Structure 1
Amino acid sequence: MDRLSLLPDDLIFKILSFFPSRAVVTTSLFSKRWCSLWKHVPNLGYSDPHIESEYWSASRFIDKFLLLQDNAHALQTLYLCVNRSCPPADIETWVGVAVSRGVRDILFYQYSRTWYSPIRFPRSLYTCETLVTLSLLHTFIVDVPLAICFPSLKSLTLESVDFLLSDDDIVHRLLSGCRVLEDLKVVRWGYDVLKTFKIMVPSLQRLTVEDVLINGNPVPGPDAGFVIKAPCLKSLAITSKFGSFHSLVKMPYLVKANIKLQHGDSKNLLGCVTSAKHLSLCLKQRMDSYPIGDFSQLVSLKVCTCSLDWYRLILSRAPKLRVLRFQGQENLLPSSYINDLKKCYSSSEDVQTQWERPSSVPDCLISSLETIEWMDYKGTEAENSELKYLRENSRRLLKTMTLSKYWYSLHEGVLTNDGLEI
């Protein structure tokens, strides 16, 4: 402890910021010097006790923490993890105090096994000038004001967030107030209130959309889905089991796209991501028409074996492709929310069992392809024919070929003049 006390205050504050707030306060017992150091720590992290009888003492701790801290120093982070027994008035007060102290990062998570209590955040939150990161998880929000302005907000997470009114413009109004937003993550577990999620943010650079229904939630109709207009996107990740993408724009600055769809217009979506350098696809829908445009910048392509039609089309339009990866279906994973994001939505019947020789050899096989990886390689006649065709037509530049019999076990091979050695 003596050595720790020799450190400068700023370094001690930084060290203490990594500990839970209750533990930080207990350091006041170390010595006289430590009595007030905790008051300058710029973070407040709180998690509700699972025993409701202990809630009162825990909530009073937050009150005292905020009251006794040095108000001259900004509160950088506020992390609140509460259950439904936490009075909404307390949450409104705590968030309001954090905003008044120039908070930069807020994470609010409401956990419940059954239902979520409606939360009314203070009006001051929606015009907070200092907020840079806002994460709302499993939250039922009421009383969203008309005037919203987050002049500094760069990162926003909305995971299983519902609103009291069935007004699709609420989200649009919320995002319109984020003028410098760069990162957005949206996770939808149901379509009880909002049908269309409108994402129209000119400054947005990274977007993640996860749309997977939890057991018990009703399956949405054809009108449910997303509207995305973010022309400056550099990274796009979409996992959608039921939603559709009604409106999209070209994304000329896109570098990376990961797309996994069960329904919706794959052609329209792919036509907007032709600028991507790295592309990952799992598309259940059969290809019925060509997407518009060439993938002239694409250097890395990963495809699920349910999407071979799309892969062949893209291969013929990607003259700079260097890395090609095949991913077998992962339908044997347990059916949980996290694994549902990883699983292919297609059945084994959707995978092509017959191979057709392309009418012409894609340019990338002749001039650029260097690496081929095939995960969950089963050795079917169609797979063997596909692999043989790729190997024969890309011998000049192909350096490595990696096959995996099972998705969790790799067997590497190196292409030599004598063929593939595994």
Structure 2
Amino acid sequence: MDRISKLPEALILRILSLLPAQDVVATMFLSKRWQPLWTLVPKLMYDDSYQNIEYRRFSKFVDRSLLLHEAPVVETLNFKLGRNSRAVDIGVWTRTAVKRCVRELIIEIDCSSSTTALILPKSLCTDCTMLVTLTLISVILVDVSSSVSFPSLKGLGLVSVKYPDDEFVKRLLSNCPVLEALAVERNPDENVTIFTIIVPSLKSLFLRESSKCVRNDARGFVIDAPSLEFFDIRDHRSGFCVFENNMPKIIKADVDVLYSHPGKILSSITSVKHLYLCLRNSKDLYPVGSVFHHLVHLKLCTCETEWLNLLMCVLRDSPKLQTLKLEQCHNHMKQTPRQCWLEPNSVPECLLTSLETLEWVNYEGTVEEKEVAAFILRNGSCLKKAFTYLSTCIPVKLWSFSHEGSSNIWLLSQCLIRIFGYVET
């Protein structure tokens, strides 16, 4: 402890920020050097399950510690609460946090110890004007007569939250004028059908549909975010995701959905540079006429029967592609017939001019996989590296070379025989 006491005060405060608030306050009894330090800690985490303290004592502890806290700015205030939590307490603590200029507020309800979600006070949506980041987990938001206002909010996380209705969600997000990052995991019991996101300033969007949700084709997302740069969606329960406008600034997109028409997403993100795709059981896999002029990195999931067709479409329309990764990310139905390989009449431009790396994860050595590998290796004029990871998770380096036209075809064929037991004639 003497060594820690000699550390700079700023470093000690960072260390204390990692501890539960109960332990932070307890350090005041270590020595005179430590006595005032806890009141300056910029991050406080209150967990009512820690040390099995009864809620009444916990509530008084939070009240008193927040009252005595003297840091000019509270960077993070984190509440992890259980079944005995009360909305009135949250209201008091939130108002205190506002006076302390809190920047990040996290409210998490432990559903495993609670029969009902906690209804948050209306003041949360109207008084926290200084908040920069807000995360709500397993809570209930109620409608407010006055306007929702988060003028400084840049990051928002909504996990298993219940809302009054569709219109409240739309109004909540539209009153976050500088919001840049939004993460949403939808609750199976929420009273929202269409989750509307109209945020001109939004740069990063992370969407998840709970696996507990019942399949509902009328339920989905509507998005209007022209500044979006990063998009990540995994949804196997809802029916749709619609972009009101194209995303001209998109850099990276991860799309893992079980929609009937996922092409509506792809047609809006053609400016993407890094793309992950898993489109499952879909009628309309690929939007006709889409060209990914800026795509350089593609990861494609091979779990579904239509992956071959999707792969060739994207390769055909991605003239600058440099890295291709194929991976079976999910278990596929063994009894479902796999798509047969039909070699295209023309070679995609990216194979001839730009593709440098091929990586194949969970390679099983099926007939169609061997044929696809042979086609890419035979026509990949710029390929420098090719790796495969067998289903046993053992990486095998296929080849590392610099192409010199057709002189390497024989070497490639020998490589295919050695690794795949197959060669194209």
TM-score (norm: length of structure 1): 0.89
Gaps of 5+ in 1: 332-345
In structure 2, distance between residues paired with 1:134 and 1:66: 19
Q: 2:194 aligns with which of 175, 193, 196?
A: 196
Written as runs of structure 1 = structure 2, the 5 A alignment for 1:71-110 is: 73-110=72-109
Q: SS where residue 95 of structure 2 aligns?
A: helix
Alignment partner of 1:364: what SS? helix
Cross-structure match for 1:205: 203
Aligned letter for 1:405? L
Q: Do 1:52 and 1:85's aligned partners in 2 also have CA atoms closer than 8 Å?
A: no
Q: What letter is aligned with 1:142?
A: V
SS at structure 2 position matched to 1:35: coil
Following TM superposition, by how much is the alpha carbon of 1:397 offset from its aligned partner in structure 2, in angstroms? 1.1
Deviates more, 1:231-240 or 1:72-81: 72-81
Partner Cα separation in structure 2 for residue 254 and residue 247 of structure 1: 13
Partner SS for 2:34: helix
2:354 matches 1:355: no
Moved more, 294-303 or 407-416: 407-416
Per the alignment, do residues 348 and 255 of structure 1 end up closer, same or farther by CA in structure 2, a change over 3 Å counting? Answer: farther
Contact 2:109 2:118 (8 Å CA) reproduced? no
Deviation, structure 1 residue 256: 0.5
Matched residue, 1:338: none
Query: How do 1:316-335 and structure 2 match up within 5 A?
Result: 316-331=316-331
- Is residue 353–residue 382 contact of structure 2 (8 Å, CA) maintained in 1? yes
SS at 1:18 equivalent: coil
Contact 1:43 1:78 in 2 (8 A): yes
**Among candidates 362, 369, 382, match of residue 368 of structure 2:** 382
In structure 2, what is the Cα distance between the partners aligned to 1:227 and 1:272? 12
Aligned residue among 248, 251, 254 for 1:255: 251
Larger deviation: 22-31 or 225-234?
Answer: 22-31
* Unaligned residue ranges in structure 2 (runs of 5+): 402-407, 420-425
Query: What SS does the aligned partner of 2:195 have?
Result: strand
Letter in 2 for 1:311: L
**CA displacement 1:390-422 (0-9 Å, x = unmatched):** 11111x211111112217332222155322265
Instruction: Determine the C-alpha separation between the residues in 2 that align with 1:353 and 1:135.
Output: 43
- 1:290 aligns with 287
The alpha-carbon distance between structure 1 residues 415 and 44, as it changes in their structure 2 partners (threshold 3 A), is: closer
Distance in 2, Cα, partners of 1:9 & 1:78: 20
Tell me what 1:304 maps to: 301
2:369 aligned counterpart, secondary structure? helix
* 1:144-183 correspondence to structure 2 within 5 Å: 144-163=144-163, 165=164, 167-183=165-181
Partner of 1:228: 223
- Counterpart amino acid of residue 267 in structure 1: G
Alpha-carbon distance change, 211 to 390 in structure 1, aligned in 2, over 3 angstroms: same
Distance between the aligned counterparts of 1:15 and 1:329, measured in 2?
38
Bigger CA drift: 148-157 or 398-407? 398-407
Write out per-residue CA displacement over residues 11-58 of structure 1, whole angstroms, 9 at most, x where no aligned residue: 433332222211111111122232222112222211122797722222
- Partner letter of residue 117 of structure 2? S
**Between 95-104 and 46-55, the greater mean CA deviation after superposition:** 46-55
Deviation string 1:58-99 (CA, Å, 9 cap, x unpaired) is 2221111012222x6222211001112112211221122112
Distance 1:31 1:50 in 2: 24
Deviates more, 1:379-388 or 1:5-14: 5-14
CA distance in 2, matches of 1:372, 1:314: 15
- After TM superposition, the score normalised by the length of structure 2 is 0.88
- Cα distance in 1 for residues equivalent to 2:235 and 2:376: 31
Q: Post-superposition shift, 1:118?
A: 3.5
Aligned length: 401
Aligned alpha-carbon RMSD (Å): 2.2
- Give, in whole Å, the separation in 1 of the partners of 2:308 and 2:99: 55
* Distance in structure 1 (CA, Å) of the matches to 2:173 and 2:353: 44
Alignment partners' CA distance in 2, 1:319 and 1:207? 27
Match of 2:37 in 1: 37
1:409 matches 2:394: yes
